[in-house]
Amino acid sequence: MSIKTNEFAALKNVKVKDGFWSKYEEIAKNVIIPYQWDAINDLVPDTEPSHAIKNFKIAAGEMEGEFRGFVFQDTDVAKWLEAVSYRLTIEPDEKLEKTADEVIDLIGRAQREDGYLDTYYLIKEKGKEFTNLLDCHEMYCAGHMAEAAVAYFEATGKRKLLDIVCRFLDLIAQRVGKEEGKIHGYSGHPEIELALVRVYKATGDKKYLDFCKYLIDERGCEPNFFQQELESRNFINMWGGKDKKADTVYCQAHKPLREQKEAVGHSVRAGYLYTGAAHLALELGDKELFNACETLWDNATKKQMYVTGGFGSQVHGEAFSFDYQLPNDLSYTETCAAISFVFFAQKMLMSDVDSKYSDVMERILYNGSISGMALDGKHFFYTNPLEVWDEQNKKVPAYRHNKVKRPGWFGCACCPPNLARMITSLGNYIYSTDENTVYAHLYIGSDAKLSVGESTVEIKQTSRMPWEGKSEFVLSGGEYTFAVRIPSWADKFEVKVNGEKVNCEVKKGYAYITKAWAQGDAVTVEMPMEVKLMEANPLVRADGGKVAISRGPVVYCIESADNGDRLSSIRLENEPMFRIEKDDELFEGSVSIFAKAVKKKAWETDDLYKAFTQSYEEITLKAIPYAFWGNRDDNREMAVWIRY
């Protein structure tokens, strides 16, 4: 496979105008960003304090106090700034920009003269910088701040934060690297890798790309850096305890990425590392590295991904476990992990236009990512299980990471601002172009101006996704190819140009149309949206004898709020007849699914066991989109997989 370069449209050139996603953008503008500003300033009552802004003020000498929060607390500020940057790209806002400028000024005042910028070490561990790359997230924090800096520069043209970040990155590269006298290491939590490629793209300075290549190629080589670093500290970890062996699998450093065949370890670290590697492979034309990323993609998505697009099946280590081990009620499926695979998918698509990447991107976007936020924009899930029973979660320690109601904030608040930056940058994932082709990867209503070779192509997409399978693209004139994704869930499809059906060449899940386009030509894609019962590979033991309901890109679930308690006692009838109804209770325009089912009757005795009897009652099952579950106070149970 040759690496084919195509660029995704810049966010400033795409305006989302969509019945579904525009509502989320409005929530981001009016609720999420202001709410998260209050959160990082410790102004939200009855939630864990963040202390993130206070840490910067203390580091700048403007407040007295101690460092509080996690070692990566700075990233709450960075991700908020990144989401603000995307929001300013979509729509200028003088007040919001002024607030962001003030935060950037504060960050600048906190930065040390030599460029160092990490409040944990500036306040709490002075003089111990770069002594614990395994645990202490310095480079991870630098990466998130770098992503914010690039986004703010692209949104406003202001370089202050980018200059601040470049000074810090330059200092890190002076201390870490392959040259003699430097630390031959890398970060315990990957993130800086993907950020370095973005900084290279923004500045044109190849030293950032070279540093990224070093970090990715050095990672996992023998002798293992993390083990050596641990030994140099007399095996003392950051909590003061002793670890005889570094958990290199957890940290994605068990072997070089080019040699890895399976997704293992901490799932967010994996997603960020894979994203950086995929982008680096594209920029360098490195086929070997791309092939390694593809191998990991295939393993993660074909053998370790939940039907909702979630990743990370075990709470221990917030990690992958092994192929086909996908428990529903114990799953971790962190919001950040799902989002990291959206990033990964986009970078893979830039090298290889294949719907296996965009199909998963779509699945995550409509299901396992936005499920991490309540529809009020103020409450969040860290984990996104596929089955919950509130009493069990509360009484059995193994299940306590999962909840039926979203908290307002977390001490470890990586997920809420990650959602904010994903939603506000959504326009960056819809279209890409190369010298002669426009690719439409997502069915999201939008207006776009795209560069195709030396020409500009304008597109107006009108979409009814995810509730109806019809989308229209109105194109500007010129000679070019238009390629639109045909989702894997679409068993049938029809493509029309100006109302006339056309036979398209379909390659890797994309329908290609090449012609001399007249101004205003319309391409319509119609795909019947039928309710489907999905089954898992029999090797997935948790789902044996069960099905999941899906319709188009949306995965559905059942809640006790609609179906009563004991969801595990419900069984769908053979070949059930489904009824589709518009249901605005949770989300305007949403669709709920109804079907006849049976439910095991409650016993009249409290015996633990008795002889089996066919004692069922008929019920009408109601299923709602998984993304919207947990938004009602009277809900105690939820399940995606249903007995069949």
Close Cβ partners of 180 (under 8 Å, ≥ 6 residues apart): none
Q: Can 318 be counted among the known catalytic residues?
A: yes
Name which of 488, 642, 495, 482 is nearest 571 in CA terms: 642
Residue 264 main-chain phi, psi, to 5 deg: -135, 170
Q: What's the Cα-to-Cα distance from 4 to each of 113, 284, 297, 347, rounded to whole Å?
A: 42, 12, 18, 12
Helix (H, G, I), strand (E, B) or coil at 51: coil
Q: CA-CA distance, 70 to 549, in Å (whole number)?
A: 39
Q: Can 458 be counted among the known catalytic residues?
A: no
Q: CA-CA distance, 139 to 191, in Å (whole number)?
A: 8
Helix (H, G, I), strand (E, B) or coil at 273: helix
Q: CA-CA distance, 431 to 67, in Å (whole number)?
A: 43
Name which of 188, 306, 193 is nearest 237 in CA terms: 188
Is there a contact between 473 and 40 (Cβ–Cβ < 8 Å)? no
Secondary structure (DSSP) of 456-502: EEEEEEEE-TTTS-EEEEEE-SEEEEEEEE--TT-SS-EEEETTEE-
Is there a contact between 523 and 473 (Cβ–Cβ < 8 Å)? yes
Q: CA-CA distance, 72 to 78, in Å (whole number)?
A: 10
- Choosing from 283, 318, 387, 637, the catalytic residue is 318
140 by Cβ neighbours in 10 Å (0-12 / 13-18 / 19+) ranks as buried
For 89, the token pair is 């790209």
For 48, the token pair is 């864990």
- Choosing from 141, 336, 414, 504, the catalytic residue is 414
Q: CA-CA distance, 293 to 425, in Å (whole number)?
A: 24
Catalytic residues: 318, 414
